[in-house]
Amino acid sequence: MWRTDGQKPRQRSSDAVIEEIVQLRRLGFRYIALADDNFYPVSMMDLELAKRQNNTHRLDELNSIRSERFELMARLAQLPRDTVFFTQITMEAAEDPEFLDAMNAANIKGALVGVEAVTPEGLKDVYKDFNLAGQNLIDRLRVFRSHNIHVLGSFIFGLPSDRPQTFDATAAVAEQAQLTFAQFVMLTPFPGTVDFDRWEKTMEGDTRNVGGVPLTRGWLIPQAVRPKLFWTHPVMESDEIRQRTQAVWDRFYSFRVIWKRSSFLKSMRGRLTFILISKLYRRMYADTGIATDSARVAWSTKWASWLAKPCRRLFAGRPMPDLKVPVYLGPALSRELTKVG
Quick: pLDDT tens for 286-301.
654 555 555 666 666 7
- Tell me what pLDDT residue 190 has: 82
* Average pLDDT of the residues in 56-82: 95
- Tell me what pLDDT residue 248 has: 95
* Average pLDDT of the residues in 89-110: 95
For the chain, percent of residues with pLDDT exceeding 70: 90
| pLDDT-wise least confident of 41-55, 80-94, 202-216 | 202-216
What number of CA atoms fall less than 13 Å from residue 272's CA on the CB side? 4
- Tell me what pLDDT residue 5 has: 74
Q: What does the CA dihedral 322, 24, 313, 112 come to, rounded to 10 degrees?
A: -140
Does the structure show a pLDDT above 90 at 40? yes
Encoded amino acid at 49, one letter: L
Could you name the CATH architecture of 17-39+79-186+228-252? Alpha-Beta Horseshoe (3.80)
Does the structure show a pLDDT above 70 at 337? no
Q: Is 293 exposed, middle or buried (0-12, 13-18, 19+ CB in 10 A)?
A: exposed
Supply φ then ψ for residue 113, to 5 degrees. Answer: -120, 120
Within a 10 A sphere around the Cβ of 211, how many other Cβ atoms?
9
E-strand spans in 84-166? 84-89, 108-116, 150-157
Q: Taking a C-beta distance cutoff of 8 angstroms, is the pair 116, 123 a contact? A: yes
Residues near 97 by beta carbon (within 8 Å), at least 6 away in sequence: 143, 147
Domain locations along the chain = 17-39+79-186+228-252, 255-317
Q: Alpha carbon of 265 to those of 25, 159, 332: distances in Å?
A: 25, 35, 33
Does the structure show a pLDDT above 60 at 2? yes
Quick: pLDDT tens for 212-259.
888 888 888 887 787 877 778 899 998 899 999 999 999 999 999 999
Q: What is the mean pLDDT of the chain?
A: 87
N-terminal to C-terminal alpha carbon distance within the chain: 33
